Amino acid sequence: MTSIAIIDYGMGNLHSISKALEHAAPDARVEVTADHGRIRDADRVVFPGVGAIRDCMAELKRYDLVETIRSAASEKPFLGICLGMQALLDHSEENGGIPCLGIIEGEVRYFGERPRDPTSGEILKVPHMGWNQVRHRREHPLWQGIPDNDRFYFVHSYYVEPANPDDTVGAAEYSREFAAAVARDSLFAVQFHPEKSQHAGLRLLANFAAWDGQP
Amino acid sequence: MALAKRIIPCLDVDAGRVVKGVQFVDIRDAGDPVEIARRYDQEGADEITFLDITASSDERETMAHVVEQVAGEVFIPLTVGGGIRTTDDIRRMLNAGADKVGINTAAIFNPDFVREAAERFGSQCIVVSIDAKTVSAEDEAPRWEIFTHGGRKPTGIDALAWAVKMQEYGAGEILLTSMDRDGTKRGFNLPLTAAVSAAVHIPVIASGGVGNLDHLVDGITKGHADAVLAASIFHFGEYSIGQAKQHMAEAGIEVRL
């Protein structure tokens, strides 16, 4: 039986992700925790987050979780979600500029207040909210059973731009192409909410619960 | 490759049962909210909204219980509105499994509540509900005002200015209900919807008045809404969510099929 620790550092409601993991992986032991030992001992780690990046980084420091997250991200299957993805980058433009964890090289950027669709010229709303298509940039065990261009549920105003294009495993478009999913070694991170993305999302969570951490 | 326009069925829940009133008067019973939510999820609803229309506060726990049951098996975004007045109300619904809450009357009496809620829980989970009615005469430039108490009480607040203000206060989305259309099945108030959608940069959900599938299309193409919300056309089996999406796709609208 695999154990999954969902890191609880006060950034958002973890009810959904916990319920969805229990549903997608009924054999897994799912635990919501801020305890270093529990996170270290878990077979897999989920790093969620909603809200603003300044609060996110401040809370990670307050809970003294930075090093725990850094080692989990390099040692075992690790899934960053939404703000938990953005925090993995070097730096975010949000809140006037905030240094992040620097686990994945690159920047987190703002869509802008009224970006336009490059093809239609239509003004787009921000946040980018709703179901958008994710194109697989390359094969990955976490895409198993999920069709290319399937839709996932997004809610965000900032997007991730990895310095190394090879880190992007899934791309979506909203005024521009952006990284909907990044992966490196045993780390996988998504901008969308798999716990709110019905079949495709549950499949991704089931894949994560079964993943051996090999790319 | 584009963001899909959303179809959101709305369940008006009174003491744990789904009902739908025609302009808040003639209320019909439409069934068990958990069962109906499950069906909408299977049919491809993009989100589900619950509107708690229970008058008494002792029934609030019933709503939280409904949300908890739905959230355990339906993995799409869930919104709960109705009776959200304090940050404790919000916390209770989020803990029950809601992803967003709709704030309506409480925002009118205390706009800072929206700011406080957005700072505490994040803008992504704060939907401000606006109930608006046309107040201009036919030969005048259109004006819309916010109404409370199911459309009976005017507030004197201009709907467009209010939408912009709520965005500034941290609303992540606006649920716009036309009170002169709600329950009439004559379609959305399109000039109102288009005006609000153009005035803000956050997503706008059109609501109030859907009687057929063309109305849903019009809400997107003419009202420029980002999502369309309807209740009775889905509850009483007139149309399925799947049919609605098919119809929108045929009209050239990007939907999740």
pLDDT at B238: 84
Evaluated on CA atoms A51, A60, A100, A169, the torsion sign reads negative
Give B138 or B217, the one with higher predicted confidence. B217
Token couple for A215? 């790319």
pLDDT at B22: 43
> Which candidate, A42, A45, A178, A197, places its Cα nearest to that of A109?
A178
A92 within some domain: yes
**Which residue in A56, A82, A94, A128 is the catalytic one?**
A82
- Kindly list the distances between the CA atom of residue A123 and the CA atoms of A106, B197, B217, in Å, as whole numbers in the listed order: 27, 11, 19
How near does any CA of chain B get to the CA of A52, in Å? 7
pLDDT at B26: 47
Which chain B residue has the Cα nearest residue A114? Answer: B201
A14 within some domain: yes
A215 within some domain: no
Active site residue B139: no
Average pLDDT over chain B, rounded to whole? 92
A28 within some domain: yes
A7 phi-psi bin (left φ>0, alpha ψ -120 to 50, beta other)? beta
Answer yes or no: is pLDDT of B24 > 60.
no
| B57 contacts: CB under 8 Å, gap ≥ 6 | B83
A40 within some domain: yes
Q: Say what the pTM is.
A: 0.95
What was the ipTM of the complex prediction? Answer: 0.94
Cβ–Cβ of B256/A151 closer than 8 Å? yes
| Cβ–Cβ < 8 Å for B174, B198 | no
Domain count for chain A? 1
The CATH number covering residue A164 comes to: 3.40.50.880
A78 within some domain: yes
For tokens 């192409």, name the residue: A177
pLDDT at B61: 85
* Buried/exposed code over B93-111 (b: 16+ C-beta within 10 A; e: otherwise): bbebbbbbbbbbbbbbeeb
CA distance linking residue A157 with residue A179, whole number of Å: 13
Token couple for A98? 């905030």
Considering only the beta carbons, identify the residue of B76, B226, B227 that sits closest to A196: B76
Q: What's the half-sphere exposure (Cβ side, CA atoms, 13 Å) at B242?
A: 5
SS3 track for A2-44: CEEEEECCCCCCCHHHHHHHHHHCCCCEEEEECCHHHHHHCCE
pLDDT at B151: 84
Q: What is the percent of chain B with per-residue pLDDT over 90, rounded to a whole number?
A: 79
Cβ–Cβ of B3/A124 closer than 8 Å? yes
Decide the pairing of beta strands A168-173 and A177-184: antiparallel
Q: Which residues of chain A have pLDDT under 50?
A: none
Answer yes or no: is pLDDT of B55 > 70.
no
Amino acid at position A177, single letter? E
At CB < 8 Å, which residues of chain A contact B?
12-13, 15-16, 19-20, 23, 50-52, 113-114, 117, 124-133, 135, 149, 151, 153-156, 172-174, 195-198, 201-202
Domain that holds residue A59: 3-210
How near does any CA of chain A get to the CA of B82, in Å? 20
pLDDT at B1: 65
| pLDDT band, residue B183 (cuts 50/70/90) | confident
